Structure 1
Amino acid sequence: MRPEARAFVVDGPLPGWDASEEEIGRRARRPGAIPKPVTGEEARALVPCFGPDDCHGVAWTHLHLIETGPNPVLTSQPALPADEWHRRLYDRAVGL
């Protein structure tokens, strides 16, 4: 895994809307630093990094980053209570 992707994964899940502006800004810069397309290993490692909400739009950037890698990353429909981002990632990969 490339260092830029590893740094994103090490940071853990994206924070929620109530995170500080500094934290949101730092996390918002991370996806842009990861060279595209991501590898299959990187895409799989990035999937658990969605947070509790859209993190001021960062989750959308994160979803698009994962989609640059080999699809589908999720090969089966996420079981409930899967969050909206895992369901959305799966639905977009299978064309729903």
Structure 2
Amino acid sequence: MQAFIADGPLPDWEAEEEQIDRRDKQLRAIPAPVTAEEAKALAACFGPDDCYGVAWTLLHLVETGPNPVPTARPAADANEWHQRLWIRAVNGGLVPET
């Protein structure tokens, strides 16, 4: 997990295939469920797009944590993946829509 987090946000669609594959392998090596602290750290790793589906894997891993991430409505200009996590938490009844 440390290597994945240390590499920062996921690359975009323009990245080299090797880089995307490496990030995917790092992510898939992280055991679920994750802790609340791990989920928060992982949520900081979303990139600008879905990174050929890798962002969906990341989203599902973040959701294995014990608490929703984020716990408050993201700003309007927040990353689309943070928005998506918020909407899924609201729709799942995990947080009130405010």
1:57 & 1:85 partners in 2: Cα distance? Answer: 12
Equivalent in the alignment of 2:62: 66
**Residue segments in structure 2 that go unaligned for 5+ positions in a row:** 93-98
SS of the equivalent of 1:49 reads coil
Which of these residues, 85, 92, 98, is aligned with residue 89 of structure 1? 85
Q: State the number of aligned residues.
A: 92
Equivalent in the alignment of 2:11: 15
Root mean square deviation of aligned Cα: 1.0
Structure number with higher relative contact order (C-alpha < 8 Å, ≥ 6 residues apart): 1
TM-score (norm 2): 0.89
On the 8 A contact 1:40/1:69 being kept in 2, the answer is: yes
Identical columns (%): 64
Q: Does 1:35 align with 2:25?
A: no
More helix, by proportion = 1
Equivalent in the alignment of 1:26: 22
CA deviation vs aligned residue, 1:33-57 (integer Å, no higher than 9, x gap): 0011001110011111000110000
Letter aligned with residue 31 of structure 1: L
TM-score (norm 1): 0.91
